[in-house]
Amino acid sequence: DAKTTQPNSMESNEEEPVHLPCNHSTISGTDYIHWYRQLPSQGPEYVIHGLTSNVNNRMASLAIAEDRKSSTLILHRATLRDAAVYYCILPRGGSQGNLIFGKGTKLSVKP
Amino acid sequence: DGGITQSPKYLFRKEGQNVTLSCEQNLNHDAMYWYRQDPGQGLRLIYYSQIVNDFQKGDIAEGYSVSREKKESFPLTVTSAQKNPTAFYLCATKRGQGYAEAFFGQGTRLTVV
């Protein structure tokens, strides 16, 4: 299985952009990069996913390196409600595979 | 409202007892999953099912059992063979195995007393 590496924790100030990095140097050509987040005492929620091109949605942007060995989840203006654990995931077995969660990055947002 | 319902939210079990956690969905999704989460850790896959009457073991299936008799329901039984059952259990669904977005329930926190 391709593995991902994320920092254990990050801090941000409210209303500032946040860049959450993820390294996946063993990614294969067909692996999609998925991001989920988990608020305290809740189930994870889908944030975004992509293959090669940068992706945007209402929650965040995903910037994927040209060699696809790393990616960055961008929250354009952090709010207190964005404080959560963010998981970068490469589904096992390709795009149709199961989601296997690592420890993720715990994001703290300061007012 | 469409969604995933896990019940109960909190569950206490005595050692040596089996207990069943409920997961019901009205999203009409084919794929369903059970995960376990320990404090400060990520989620680990217990079992998954891509279609009714079929399911596969995940990474930590020992001590657990499931059934998938209906599309809407995927109950998880934690048996007495599970040595450390105290954990947060999460059920998830996807429209199908090939879809990207998974939807999670609110979880059941199981404590062995």
Is residue B102 less than 8 Å (CB to CB) from chain A? yes
From edge to edge, which strands make up the β-sheet containing B76-78? B4-7, B19-25, B76-78, B64-66
Q: What's the pLDDT at B2?
A: 64
Whether A37 contacts chain B with CB within 8 A: no
Is A101 an 8 Å CB contact of chain B? yes
Mean pLDDT to the nearest integer, A37-65: 94
Q: In angstroms, what separates the C-alpha of B14 from chain A's closest C-alpha?
A: 23
Q: Which residue of chain B comes nearest to A85, CA vs CA?
A: B42
Say how far apart CA B31 and CA A99 lie, in whole Å.
12
Say if residue B1's pLDDT is above 60.
Answer: no
Question: Of B63, B31, B34, which Cα lies nearest the Cα of B46?
Answer: B34
| Residue in this structure with the two tokens 């991902």, named with its chain if needed | A4
Q: How far is CA B97 from CA A91, A106, A108, in A?
A: 11, 28, 33
Q: Long-range contacts of range A64-70, CB-CB < 8 Å, 24 or more positions apart?
A: A64/A33, A68/A24, A68/A27, A68/A33, A69/A23, A69/A24, A69/A25, A69/A27, A70/A21, A70/A22, A70/A23, A70/A24, A70/A25
The minimum CA-CA distance between B33 and chain A, rounded to whole Å, is 9
Give the whole-number percent of chain A exceeding pLDDT 90. 75
| Shortest CA gap A40–chain B (Å) | 11
- Is-contact B35 B4, C-beta < 8 A? no
Q: CA–CA separation, B86 vs B68, rounded Å?
A: 24
Cβ separation B100–A87 shorter than 8 A: no
Place of tokens 């998981």: A87
The pLDDT confidence band at residue A93, using thresholds 50, 70 and 90, is low
Q: Cβ contact (<8 Å) for A44 and B105?
A: no
Q: Are strands A18-23 and B64-66 parallel, antiparallel or unpaired?
A: unpaired
Predicted local distance difference test score (pLDDT) of residue A96: 53
* CA torsion, ordered A64, A70, A74, A80, to nearest 10 deg: 150
> What are B46-86's pLDDT values in tens digits?
999 999 999 999 999 999 999 999 999 999 999 998 989 99
Q: Sort out which chain B residues have CB atoms less than 8 A from A49's CB and list them.
A: 100-101
A34 and B58: CB-CB below 8 Å? Answer: no
Res B99 pLDDT > 80: no
Q: Does A41 sit within 8 Å of B42, measured CB to CB?
A: no
Average pLDDT in chain A: 91
Across the strands, what pairs with B46? Answer: none
Closest by CA to B109, choosing from B75, B85, B80, B74, is B85
Q: How far apart are CA A12 and CA A77, in angstroms?
A: 10
Give a three-class secondary structure readout of A60-96.
CEEEECCCCCEEEEEECCCCHHHCEEEEEECCECCCC
Residue with the bigger pLDDT between B1 and B113: it is: B113
Instruction: Please give the pLDDT value at position A1.
Output: 64
More reliable by pLDDT, B1 or A17: A17
Q: What is the pLDDT of residue B48?
A: 93
